[in-house]
Chains A and B, each alone.
Chain A
Amino acid sequence: MHFAAPDALVRVVPRDGFVRVVPRDGLVRGVPRRGARRGPVMSASVSPLWAQVRAELTMRLRSFATPIAILVYLAAAFFWVPDPNGHAASLSWDLPDGRVQAPLYGAGYVGFALAILSCVFLGLGGFYLVAGSVKRDRRSGVGAILAATPLSKSAYLGGKLAANLAYLFVLDVVGLLAGLLTFLRWGTGPFSPIAFAGPYFLMTIPAIAAVAALAVLFDVTPVLRSRGGFVLWFFVFLFGLVKLPLDLAGIDMDSGRPTSASTRPIFDPAGLASDQYLVRRTLPPDVRGISAGHVSRTQPIERVPWSGVPITAEFVAIRALNLAFLVVPFGLAVLLFDRFDPARGKKRVRRAGPFARLAARLRRGENAVGDDAGAIVRRAAPLTPVTARPSAAAAILAEARLIWESASWVKWPLALSAILAGLLPGNFAQGIFLLLLVPVISEVAAREDLAGTRALVFSQPGVPRSPVLWKTAALGLFVLMIGAPMAVRDAFAAPARGLACVAGLAAIALAASGLGALSSGGKLFTGLYVVVWYMAMSGASFADFTASLGDKPEPLWGAVYLGIAAVLVLGALGREKLRRA
């Protein structure tokens, strides 16, 4: 029995600006000292910015989407710069006498060719990799916590912008490494790091900056931040960042020839008008069209020395001006951002649609206006017994039904386009139907991850042991059912086309399931799908996965896409096994 004096009870350990009171039992009870400086010295604006960049970069680099994106990027780089002895080139031009010339694979050429690829890949696809971080904060509730801190709107969104930019820059450097490998494989002449990397970064940095800022704008704007926004982005990029700058610079989009009013590309963040303009200035004046991109030629290609695009004051000024473009979408984003205040974002309580409300009124005792007040248990009467017969089939049907129910208003134009796709000739209704499928099915495979319902849903008796297979089956059922009119139409045209259409529809379901499960989201599927869809609509037969969109459909491609999608599902099953372990 003794009296324990206070100084014997505790040890005072000053560290990190805190006084730690350490009792003899070893438990630490930290007490911040009044006026103590918290953390290292850093300016008030840089610290939260850096914290956000670090956190976002860490999360994204740990995401499955990153290795997939890098693999796709490296594969694209491999195909983008083709065999110098073949009939394809990633940069070529037509001479007045009909000859076609392309550069020898010097360092300047390889760097510039990869710059064009990076402008397209990181411009279009990079958006799908970085968009959604504000939405994620909103959904997870982190946004509400941040909103209660002194962090300003511009500091928060500035952090998101910087994080987007940092992540895309990492991928940008990967692109440069791919270029280095290409040079090692096929390069000729001495390797000049300045000629190789200088124009590359001058071209790509404004492009990724614009995408980073536009992703923030899409994230905070009510309609654009929905799943439909991911589809819309494709058209914003195509028409707003490719076609419009080419038109403004006086360059014909299809032939690459200058029109009568050719000017400097003042507005060209993505850089696709700038590359035409800058390349043309290095070539003889009588050169006609310039082709940038992987283009196959019927006639032989003459390889000529080309030292690349020199870094001139004009080049730097054009790209610097386009880098400054990021201020516009970022400023708009700051203006539109509601700072996670639900009262600003939501003007009214969202309720079920008119049909659901009518059905509710017909049910006994229910009014359409909810009542939050009152007790949890209204009556103590026992529940009447029910008979449950859980089965995988019932779970698949329930999931397919949920895909429809959770599709908001998009389901109605989807249903209409599905019917029209079975009735109308041509590819317009079919194309619209295949595009409208994207927002409806893109997040199905990751729904439980995104909504936080994993434990609720996966503990149900009917859910098969493999959620990936369950989702795949439900998606397959849904897509095949809603795509049935189109498949029947194709089958009447030719049985092989009907089969190819079914295979293509199944491939869509498998790809949505596989990519959704692998990336825990719907953006990767949306990005890749929309690119393939656009190529199919543009007449590329290899991209016509349902043999319904092109003029000369090749049914075999449906089977090829089905095989690729099956591999993705296998990958998702492998990841599922890892997660369980």
Chain B
Amino acid sequence: MLEIRSLGKRYPGGTVGLTDFSLEVGEGVLGLLGPNGAGKTTLMSILATVTKPTSGTFLWQGRDAARDPLPLRRELGYLPQDFGVYPKLTGREFLLYLGRLKGLSGADLDRRVQELLELTNLHGAASRRLGAYSGGMRQRIGIAQALLGDPRLVIVDEPTVGLDPEERVRFRNLLAEIANGRVVILSTHIVSDVEAVASHIAVIRQGRLVLHATPEALLLRAAGRVFVAVVSSDRLAEAQRLDGVHVSSLMRRADGVHVRFVTNGGTLPGTREVEPTLEDAYLLANLAAAPAPVTGFFGKPTVSERA
């Protein structure tokens, strides 16, 4: 449905946002993961036809959306990362305005706005001015506007920022629900959000696509590369700086600090292999091709390992 071909974006100051980014996206939720400044928002902004690419193109339903964005816009629901609202309008007025820009009118528009206000639990605050909304309520009005026009492509950039845990879970469920027959692109830092709903995951780093796979394939790739070791507190700082490993979590216990880490190297003496999570798999994808792992740090190799 959405085909991205060698997309590139270079900003006027020379900053590179995207480089030769190619990807095919079908129905379902695509989770877009990547560190800060990786180019996620640039990609989302281009796909939402707000920013023009400097090279490459992308096709929506087989039509070049970079050259002719209108067909895509007709089927797009977009929630940008940072979006403003008009503080003097009420929530309902704001949705009615954006609905009109989408081409909705009359009873259709009124009904859809009411449904979305109820869906996002803002019906009680619909007549309140947006300037008086809390951060979470604003985020919800953003989500509501993205669903105004029966979108076939939904692009949401960091949608769960500002939502409390319960809201986050329910929003994820909503995304999973609307993904039926639609393309949903979800960009986030929160791996658990992606884990819960994504049918595919794309990892982006320095403007390039690093990895594109199903969550299962990612987990399989990480198997045998996630370990837990116990180190003393005074050696913790050293452990965190080791080459070839990425510490994913720390837990202080009576016997020392339990360090969970991922590595591109082999089995490490003195450590215990554990089941990978998607977060481990993501960290592993971001770990540069590592030099020889620093096995000696955690313990001496056993006789069988030496052999």
Residues in chain A within 8 A of chain B (CB atoms): 1-4, 6, 9-10, 23-25, 349-352, 356-357, 360, 363-372, 374-380, 382-391, 394-395, 397-398, 401-402, 405-406, 408, 447, 451-463, 580-581
7 contacting pairs across A/B (C-beta < 8 A): A6-B238, A356-B93, A377-B119, A377-B173, A384-B115, A451-B85, A453-B84
- Give bound CA distance, A570 to B142, whole Å: 34
Q: Which residues of A contact B50 (CB under 8 A)?
A: 454-455, 458-459
Of the stretches B18-26, B73-81, B187-195, the one at the interface is B73-81
Q: Is A461's CB under 8 angstroms from B243's CB?
A: no
Main secondary structure of the interface of A (DSSP, over half): loop
Q: Is the CB of B103 within 8 A of A376?
A: no
**Do A394 and B103 have beta carbons less than 8 Å apart?**
yes
Q: A395-B100, A455-B48 are contacts. A367–B124 as well, Cβ < 8 Å?
A: yes
For residue A375, which residues in chain B have a CB less than 8 angstroms away from its CB?
121, 166-167, 170
Q: Does B272 contact A (CB under 8 A)?
A: no
Q: Which chain A residues border B129 with CB–CB below 8 Å?
A: 350-352
Q: In the bound complex, how far is the Cα of B111 from the Cα of A115, in angstroms? A: 63
Counting CB contacts under 8 A, is B105 at the interface?
A: yes
Residues of the A chain whose Cβ atoms lie less than 8 Å from the Cβ of B140: 376
Please pick, from B102, B111, B120, the residue contacting A377 in the complex, using a CB distance under 8 A: B120
**Contact code string B101-129 (vs A, CB < 8 Å = 1, else 0):** 11111001101101110111111111111
Q: A4-B242, A360-B92 are in contact. Are A383 and B294 (CB under 8 A)?
A: no
Q: Does B217 contact A (CB under 8 A)?
A: no
Stretch at the interface among B32-40, B145-153, B204-212: B145-153
Q: Specify the chain B residue showing the minimal Cβ separation from A21.
A: B241
Given known contacts A377-B170, A383-B115, A386-B149, what 14 new A-B pairs fall within 8 Å (CB)? A1-B294, A23-B243, A350-B132, A352-B129, A366-B123, A366-B127, A370-B124, A377-B120, A383-B147, A384-B115, A385-B150, A388-B149, A453-B86, A461-B70
Q: Which residue of the partner chain B has the closest CB to A462?
A: B101
Query: Which B residues touch A6, using CB under 8 A?
Result: 237-238, 241
Determine if A383 and B89 form an interchain contact, defined as CB atoms under 8 angstroms apart: no
Q: Is the CB of B119 within 8 A of A383?
A: yes
Query: Which of B85, B103, B242, B296 is A462 in contact with, Cβ under 8 Å?
Result: B103
* Residues from chain B with Cβ under 8 Å of A459 in the complex: 48-50, 73, 76, 78
Q: How far is the CB of B79 from chain A (nearest CB, A)?
A: 8
- Alpha-carbon distance between A397 and B123 when the two chains are bound, in angstroms: 26
Chain A residue numbers with a CB within 8 Å of B70 are: 461
Chain A residue, CB-CB nearest to B91 = A370
Which residues 283-307 of B have a CB within 8 angstroms of A?
292-297, 301
- CA A374 to CA B140, docked complex, whole Å: 12
Q: Does B258 contact A (CB under 8 A)?
A: no
The reply to whether B297 and A3 contact each other, CB–CB distance below 8 Å, is yes
Using Cβ atoms and an 8 Å threshold, which residues of chain B touch A452?
Answer: 82-84
A374 to B177, CA, bound (A): 20
